[in-house]
């Protein structure tokens, strides 16, 4: 079973998300919105398949990264999230929540051995992702 297929996104806490978005837009040319930015790309093995990687700032007091106390979260694109979660359970990996399903894919959060939150995302092929924080 192929597990991680790519990087889905990088999310980090900051004191002033809007100021950070503006700084990255001005100095590094990122086209940002309140949800950060999305980098679109094509799959190397099948150029007809599109994909994307998100970059997003979060307020420093966000609860979205809990129970991790770290100021960042990495999102990995995966295939067959349900089967992967079953395998992770067998390996005693800490699963934080149940698989959640949205129009743009399925998500679940796990912890690595050092307490870093990891978001796993099985994207839907026909839709682009958006920020998962409500």
pLDDT digits (tens, 9 = 90+) for 58-110: 999 999 999 999 999 999 999 999 999 999 999 999 999 999 999 999 999 99
Work out the average pLDDT over 26-55: 91
Instruction: Please give the Cα distance from 104 to 76 (Å, whole number).
Output: 14
Helix then strand then coil, in percent of the chain rounded to 5, is 15, 40, 45
- According to the model, what pLDDT value does residue 87 have? 95
In the chain, where the domains are located:
4-43+50-71+78-123
User: pTM of the prediction?
Assistant: 0.86
Angle at 133 between CA 127 and CA 134, to 5 degrees: 100
pLDDT band at 34 (very low <50, low <70, confident <90, very high): confident
Query: Topology of 4-43+50-71+78-123 in CATH?
Result: 2,3-Dihydroxybiphenyl 1,2-Dioxygenase; domain 1 (3.10.180)
Contacts of 131 (CB under 8 A, 6+ apart): 35, 36, 54, 56
Residue of 5, 50, 43, 9 whose CA lies nearest to 132? 9
């Amino acid at each position: 079973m192929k597990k991680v297929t790519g990087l889905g996104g990088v999310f980090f806490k900051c004191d002033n998300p809007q100021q950070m978005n503006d700084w990255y837009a001005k100095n590094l040319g990122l086209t940002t919105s309140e949800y950060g930015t999305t980098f679109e790309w094509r799959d190397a093995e099948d150029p007809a398949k599109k994909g994307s990687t998100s970059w997003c700032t979060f307020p420093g007091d966000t609860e979205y990264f809990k129970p991790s106390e770290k100021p960042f979260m990495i999102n990995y694109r995966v295939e067959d999230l349900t089967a992967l979660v079953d395998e992770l359970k067998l390996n005693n990996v800490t699963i934080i929540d149940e698989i959640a399903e949205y129009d743009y894919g399925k998500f679940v959060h796990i912890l690595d051995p050092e307490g870093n939150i990891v978001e796993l995302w099985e994207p839907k092929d026909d839709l682009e992702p958006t920020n998962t924080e409500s």
